[in-house]
Chain A
Amino acid sequence: MQKYSIFNLVKNAFSNHQNWDLAWKDPTPKKEYDVVIIGGGGHGLATAYYLAKEHNITNVAIIEKGWIGGGNVGRNTTIIRSNYMHDDNALFSEFGMDLWRKMSQDLNYNVMFSPRGIINLAHSDAQMNVYARRGNSMRLNGIDAVLLNREQVREIIPMADFSENVRFPIFGGLMQPSAGTARHDAVAWGYARQADSMGVDIIQNCEVIGFDVSGGKINGVRTSRGNIKAKKIGLCVAGSTNILAEKLNMTLPIETHLLQACVSEPVKPVLDGVVTFGAGHFYISQSDKGEMVMGGDLDGYNSYAQRGNLPTLQHVLTEGIAMMPFLSKLKMLRTWGGIMDMSMDGSPIIDKTHIEGLYLNCGWCYGGFKATPASGWTFAHTIAQDRVHELNSGYSLNRFNTGHLLDEKGLGTKTWIS
């Protein structure tokens, strides 16, 4: 594989950049693999990469119905953070933060990780207390957290509404300075390129039709490009988890819902990091191109549509304008939707299943992108060692049966409420 470097950039300039190697090959599926990963999104590609890198398992295929990086890794709001209170979530996410910081060097691909901080705004004394508690929990787990008062928030985001007679006045906020954003497509492409260079087959336009299971053991997968035998299979298919689970006669604590996001026309730099509204569900950052990137609530009912509905968008942007009134002057450039695998406690599942050799990675709800490296790393460990790692031990499938829920937001099973 050709290294991406200033030297190679100059060298290739002499041939008008016509002779770069392909970033990944387009192989025909082999008859058999040690591990097949279903789903060529961020998590699937990261899993294959860490299988090869950390566990020396390179006889691996990723099979993807469409094209790699065409799902949620290509349509999110790119926020990376680890501001969780519960230990399982905090330690898992902070492990991921470490992988994010090293990712561009590790993958030899500029993922443009930009740690500019995230601020969760508070709009009451009670909310300040809750944030103080969360911040303390974060610091106990080694995560940076700063409680800001109203004036400190004003210094960082002067464009927020600090006028006197507003419905949700800003009391302060909780900041994680090390949080940030990254270039989402580069994450998918960087993992794909490295996985491919270590011998992983990336097979696109290959739809799963069914599974071969006998005697409680997985033997392979039937696809639109033929049958593929595999000792182990990992599912990383986010919003399509229930569709594949049905083929395996499994019913999971997951519902598929639609989440929308949108960007405005590009404007001059106005917002440094990520800001979230504390009296509703709205988050905003500014892209390097200058677009305001915004998102919020689910559409609120089960959906596989991958396209949004206006009432939710209007509701979300109303919150945005309440927080930063200048947004009302901006024209909307693009809106889009993706389908989320909403778990029943808001936390993901990375675990073995009752079928030997079948592994499950799903339930990422709103937070799949930031988890990409940690999810791939722990899922690769779970598959390679056939046991969960300490970091994903809280993300078990049977926690719904034993009552060990990880309900960070305290919302219960109504996944459409936010």
Chain B
Amino acid sequence: MESHVPHKQRLWLYALTALILIFLVLPTLIVIPMSFSSANSLAFPPPGWSMRWYESFFGQEKWLLSAWVSLRVAFGTMIVATTLGTAAAYGLHVGSFALRGTISSVLIAPLAIPSILLAIGMFFVYASAGLLNSMLGLVIAHTLVAIPFVLITMTAGFKTYDLSQEMVARSLGASRLKAFFTVTLPQLKFSVISAALLAFIVSFDEVVISVFISAGPNSTLTKVMFSTLRDDVDPTIAAVSTLMLIIATVPPLVLQLLANRKREP
């Protein structure tokens, strides 16, 4: 959409926008220079540069262990949530049973419910099921949080997909399952990758539920970070933050670029 107001007259608007965008980006990126600071304090700009906080991160078991836990949980969540979410999205898209609307609302509800409520509920269920502080418990809990993202992404994917492709494959001799895997899925590659990536990031960044249901050797990175932040502001966290920033933003950025390239052939 173009505007009929001359650009000159709205310079103030552009300036304001630029300031707000800086407000959004800068605090996010500031952890990067912080993590290379040589100082013990959080002075900015750093008085000198060093790798000491990365050494501190890689030298402490609590960080390494929890980072490893988080990565494994995120990977597990990605696999489970993408599979279950895609299956559900397909069933709900193709099926014609009565409860479709209700089921998809229930599956999307975790998105709207405050995580503190999900957390105490899971804490209670896990306490009685003996799943507290377990990897399995974390994966299932994060799967619950990731399912809405997968469901929304995949449903959007199925909506743009022409189901007669799958029908023709079946008429040519493929069972529904075979048709799904050889014809439907390859064409929805992009949606599946987006959904998987979202599930991974949702799990990797999840804090509140992890704080409640993970502890000891199975603490997630976010849980350790949260408790460390509550006690004192250890600059190692800047190094951790930088690593988290990279893990969570680089893949979607790459995906976005790929999507843009795909759109303008």
Tell whether A pairs with B: no
Chain A residues engaging chain B, CB cutoff 8 angstroms = none
Chain B residues engaging chain A, CB cutoff 8 angstroms = none
